[in-house]
Every structure is written in structure tokens, then in C-alpha cells.
Amino acid sequence: MSQLDPTDFWSPDFDIETREDGSILMMQTEPLPDHLPTLADYLDYWACP
């Protein structure tokens, strides 16, 4: 089994707001990482080394 590099995991930071009605809002403080536009693009990426 291969060793995982700590950079293989995403560790997002959130601001959390609890409202009077009991709802909880979680807002990410940093932008999302770059991503491919469609799921099919990921399948092609993973299938072709």
C-alpha cells in the first residue's frame, strides 16, 4: 500500500453562523480548488495516466 502525502487531502476553513431559528450556515473562507468542468473530464483524466 502506498503512503499518502498530507497534500492529498483538502482541509477547508469555514466560518460558521448559527441563526436564531436554529439553522446553521457554513461558509468557506477560501476559494475552491481548481476543477475540471465535467465528471466525464475526470473519468478521462483518471483513465489515462
- DSSP summary character for residue 6: G
DSSP single-letter state for residue 21: T
Return the C-alpha cell found at 47.
483513465
7-44: pLDDT as tens digits? 667 778 899 999 999 999 999 898 877 888 898 988 88
- The pLDDT confidence band at residue 45, using thresholds 50, 70 and 90, is confident
How far, in Å, CA of 41 to CA of 34, rounded? Answer: 13
Is the pTM here over 0.85, yes or no? no
Take residue 27 and report the three cell numbers written for it: 461558509
